[in-house]
Amino acid sequence: NLAQPCLIVLDDYHLIENDSIHQAIHLLLSHLPRPISLLLLSRADPPFPLGRWRANGDLLELRAADLKFQPTELAHFFAGAALGPEQLHQLHQRTEGWPAGLQLAALALENSVDPAGFIAAFSGSNRFVLDYLLEEVLQGLPPDVRQFLLDTALLPQFNAPLCDAALERTNSASLLRDLERRNLFLIPLDQQRDWYRYHHLFADLLRSQLVPEAEAQRRAVHRRAAAWLAAHNRPETAVYHALQAADYDEAARLITGPALAASARSEVLTLRRWHEAFPAEFLSQNPLLALHFGVNFALNGRWSEAEALLEQIEAARSRLPMGSYLLWRYLMSHQLAAAGDWAELLASATASAEREPLAAMVLGLLLGMRGETTAALGWLDQAINLGTISGSELAITARVHRCRLLVQAGDYQAAWELGQSLLQLLPAAQPLTQLIRLTLGQIALDRLDLDTATTHLEAALSLAQRTGLLAGSLSGA
């Protein structure tokens, strides 16, 4: 007989563990008269038939993703804090719009004499965030769940099989479901809810709890994670864990192995992080690894990094794979520019081109630069055939250069068709994609198709601005 709508609020419902109470609340919800609604606040899903209620339109949900601040909302929230756009952007990235984290940041900023410095250092180890999370989250968890959180904090991304392998356990799937049910800052990375990561601030907190005495144990976790990821075709993440484990031999094996050795496979910043993670002494004793870094730095237009490796690579040339070394020589030809060097490079490439796909490609590029287009196309075809037989991604690289040489030969239609097919194969943010975009833009310009030319050339320019990639480093231009 209520004349006005009535709202019943139950806060902190996740603290209830008594099944009798759950049953009583469920019964109440099943018989609530229309003017009455129940607002239930909980960190975990209650044991009610949420799916049925959701399907019937009887359930309104506000979850973490709905509550997080968007950039414009964050700017309004900190309107009185005199923060610039870059500082607001950093704060949004670090907190991911998490309201509690933003409120704690606001409290800290009130007493900060250096707001920019505070935001740059703001993390899960900040004492405001640390105190809150320790009190509100970690201390109330069962010991096995708390230990699982601390162990998995070493993994930037994870699924149940990876956790089982890295942590030597068999119940990771159920623990991950439990963490998600508890809303413990677990963020799904795919629609299937297979891969996860922790909220950045929460991950910082977990890692801050790791004790130095357990360093050997942590390295073992990283080593097992690297092995599992390498076996499941995730070589870049495997390299990260191998380096964290200080297993430099395994990291070098992965970097120079077939999964990652293809030209320009990894991003420039990733390459630099890997290069900097190796001790100088280890690098000096591994010319093949130095050659890999040198070639990829040159392919990405990072000449200063490539030139720093020049002396070591040249000193070890007799112990290096001929094809890779020839590509290095070609890419660094502006540094080895004497006429004798060109003649030597051409002779070396010719001697190996029948059996080495890289040598065949380098020979094709050299002949193309000399204007011998027909012969150059023939050697690029040889590189494509050899690369296809061996299953090497070099076959795609050679096809990219074939596309550019077809333009040089005046066969625009064949170049256009090849370029369009390559765009379907190549990732968007790769130097080879930039080359294809530039080539297609050039063809469109020659056809006076200005709209198409603009589309391709702007895409190439955007890639160059985002990554610093230089197309000329791949084309010999």
Condensed to tens digits (0 to 9), the pLDDT of residues 304-349 reads: 777 777 777 877 777 777 777 777 777 776 555 444 456 666 677 7
Tell me, yes or no, whether 249 lies in a domain: no
Q: Given this model, what pLDDT does residue 230 score?
A: 92
Question: What are the tokens at 120?
Answer: 């740059």
pLDDT at 363 over 90: no
Q: Given this model, what pLDDT does residue 195 score?
A: 94
Tell me, yes or no, whether 56 lies in a domain: yes
Q: Given this model, what pLDDT does residue 249 score?
A: 93
Tell me, yes or no, whether 321 lies in a domain: no
Determine contact, residues 145/178, Cβ cutoff 8 Å: yes
- pTM equals 0.60
Mean pLDDT for the stretch of residues 164-192: 88
pLDDT tens-digit map of 391-404: 667 788 888 889 88
443 by Cβ neighbours in 10 Å (0-12 / 13-18 / 19+) ranks as buried
Determine contact, residues 234/226, Cβ cutoff 8 Å: no
Tell me, yes or no, whether 436 lies in a domain: no
Determine contact, residues 221/164, Cβ cutoff 8 Å: no
Give first-to-last CA distance, the chain, whole Å: 84
For residues 50 and 88, state if they share a domain: no
For residues 80 and 118, state if they share a domain: yes
For residues 15 and 47, state if they share a domain: yes
Q: Given this model, what pLDDT does residue 267 score?
A: 64
Tell me, yes or no, whether 81 lies in a domain: yes
Tell me, yes or no, whether 55 lies in a domain: yes
Q: Which residues pair with 187 in a beta bridge?
A: 197
Determine contact, residues 423/455, Cβ cutoff 8 Å: no
Q: Given this model, what pLDDT does residue 239 score?
A: 93
Determine contact, residues 262/278, Cβ cutoff 8 Å: no
pLDDT at 122 over 70: no
For residues 48 and 84, state if they share a domain: no
pLDDT at 465 over 70: no
3-state secondary structure of 80: coil
Strand-pair category, 6-10 with 196-198: unpaired
Q: Given this model, what pLDDT does residue 278 score?
A: 92
| AA identity, residue 173 | A
Determine contact, residues 358/388, Cβ cutoff 8 Å: no
pLDDT at 247 over 90: yes
- What lies within 8 Å, CB to CB, of 424 at 6+ separation is none
For residue 449, the tally of other CB atoms under 10 A from its CB is 14
pLDDT tens-digit map of 265-281: 456 667 788 888 999 88
Alpha helices in 78-142 (DSSP H): 85-95, 99-110, 115-121, 127-136
- What lies within 8 Å, CB to CB, of 90 at 6+ separation is 119, 120
Strand-pair category, 186-188 with 196-198: antiparallel
Q: Which residues pair with 13 in a beta bridge?
A: none
Highest mean pLDDT among 78-87, 162-171, 207-216, 376-385 belongs to 162-171
For residue 196, the 8-state DSSP code is: E
Cα-only R_g, the chain: 29
Find the helix packing angle between 268-277 and 287-299, rounded to 10°: 150
For residues 51 and 12, state if they share a domain: yes
For residues 59 and 78, state if they share a domain: no
Q: Given this model, what pLDDT does residue 120 score?
A: 73
pLDDT tens-digit map of 20-45: 888 889 888 888 887 889 999 987 78
For residues 51 and 14, state if they share a domain: yes
Find the helix packing angle between 357-369 and 322-331, rounded to 10°: 30
Give residue 82's domain range.
74-122
Four-residue CA torsion sign, 333, 335, 337, 338 = negative
Determine which helix (DSSP H) or strand (DSSP E) holds 188, and give its type and residue range: strand 186-188
Q: How far apart are CA 147 and CA 391, in angstroms?
A: 43
pLDDT at 473 over 50: no
The more confidently predicted of residues 369 and 196 is 196
Determine contact, residues 401/382, Cβ cutoff 8 Å: no
Q: How far apart are CA 215 and CA 221, in angstroms?
A: 10
pLDDT at 134 over 60: yes
Q: Which of 68-72, 130-134, 425-429 has the lowest mean pLDDT?
A: 130-134
- Confidence class of residue 167 from pLDDT cuts 50, 70 and 90? very high
- Confidence class of residue 125 from pLDDT cuts 50, 70 and 90? low
Q: With pLDDT > 90 as the criterion, what percentage of the chain qualifies? A: 16
Q: Which of 121-135, 171-185, 214-228, 320-334 has the lowest mean pLDDT?
A: 121-135
DSSP states along 421-435: HHHHHS-SSSHHHHH
Tell me, yes or no, whether 111 lies in a domain: yes
Highest mean pLDDT among 17-26, 170-179, 181-190, 369-378 belongs to 170-179
Q: Given this model, what pLDDT does residue 477 score?
A: 32
Give CA angle at 379 (289, 395), nearest 5°. 50
- Confidence class of residue 260 from pLDDT cuts 50, 70 and 90? low
Determine contact, residues 381/402, Cβ cutoff 8 Å: yes
For residue 69, the 8-state DSSP code is: P
Domain total in the chain: 2
Q: Given this model, what pLDDT does residue 162 score?
A: 97
Q: Given this model, what pLDDT does residue 35 score?
A: 84
Tell me, yes or no, whether 112 lies in a domain: yes
- On average, the pLDDT of the chain sits at 80
For residues 52 and 12, state if they share a domain: yes
Q: Given this model, what pLDDT does residue 266 score?
A: 53
pLDDT at 211 over 80: no
